[in-house]
Amino acid sequence: MTDLANAPSPQPGPERQRKPDWIRVKAPTSKGYGETRQLMRDLKLNTVCEEAACPNIGECWTKKHATVMILGDVCTRACAFCNVKTGMPRAVDASEPGHVAEAAAKMGLEHIVITSVDRDDLPDGGAGQFVKVIRALREQTPNTTIEILTPDFRGKMQAAVAAIVEAGPDVYNHNLETVPRLYPTIRPGARYYASLRLLEEVKAHNPLVFTKSGIMLGLGEERLEVHQVMDDMRSAQIDFLTMGQYLQPTPKHAKVIEFVTPKAFDAYGAIARAKGFLQVAASPLTRSSYHAGEDFAQMRAAREAKLAKAAQRG
């Protein structure tokens, strides 16, 4: 990777690097993919799988796994890495919580991931809609475990986190996305330490809620900067770390500075586990909700084993 002192800041540009073999995936064509796509259309639901051009959409939708994106498909911010549309969003859809729960029931989901665009235009940043979705899921599919991936609720964080945690998600995810040095160009509308504080707030309200966060690699970050982010996350008691390769959605987005090798991802994963995360997912194709259900089950089992071992010592 680049030397820390001289590391270039990523800038949008027309050049796009050719993807290495380990990053390429086949176009989705399966029956399961088509059925999942049609269900989302019928219920008028958005998914981050489509909006963020996720490379794993074929695999996940074939298995009828989807990450539902609530609060519309237009974001009030314009992050340099994100493919979601920017502009003035529409009014909040009152029928959305029921549609999400209906989709979960029809797909027979054991675990569901709910995310959203940034809604800086709303008085609560959209927290109330997360609460309604969680409650609808608890009522209609009580055995489904719920993972949420929220924005930072800029200026409204404490009240938003308190309301959502009270609703009882099983996993609270908020991605740091990158190292602090790159925030001005990659995530200009956010603040690194505010995002860390959000995840600390979750634990303060309910220590039993699993917390999760992720970063993208390949944006020009230095190895020691990544290690520092891991340490910051552990200081905030984050349970689960995801690390994946950044892919440039269009020529106008931030460029890929480096395609990080699978071997390098394995090394980062080993370091993260040594630092004490309950669960780590680190590979070029890892995304926040990729294999989320399986990872949640492993993380819950790891916590139970840890508690049992502590009880034996006591």
pTM: 0.85
Give per-10-residue mean pLDDT for the chain (314 aa): 46 60 63 66 67 55 69 93 90 95 87 93 97 97 94 96 97 97 95 97 96 97 98 97 93 94 97 96 86 81 85 80
213 is in an annotated binding site: no
289 is in an annotated binding site: yes
pLDDT for 5 equals 43
Are the C-beta atoms of residues 47 and 105 closer than 8 Å to each other? no
Residue 49 labelled as part of a binding site: yes
| Per-residue confidence (pLDDT) for residue 3, from 0 to 100 | 45
CA dihedral for 303, 305, 306, 307, sign (positive or negative): positive
* pLDDT confidence of residue 7: 47
**The pairing of beta strand 74-75 with beta strand 67-70:** unpaired
Give the per-residue pLDDT at 300. Answer: 87
pLDDT at 29: 58
Q: Are the CB atoms for 174 and 154 separated by under 8 Å?
A: no
* Domains along the sequence of the chain with CATH: 25-313 (3.20.20.70)
Ligand-binding annotation for 9, yes or no, is no
283 is in an annotated binding site: no
Residue 30 labelled as part of a binding site = no
Backbone φ/ψ region at 64: left (φ over 0), alpha (ψ -120 to 50), beta = left
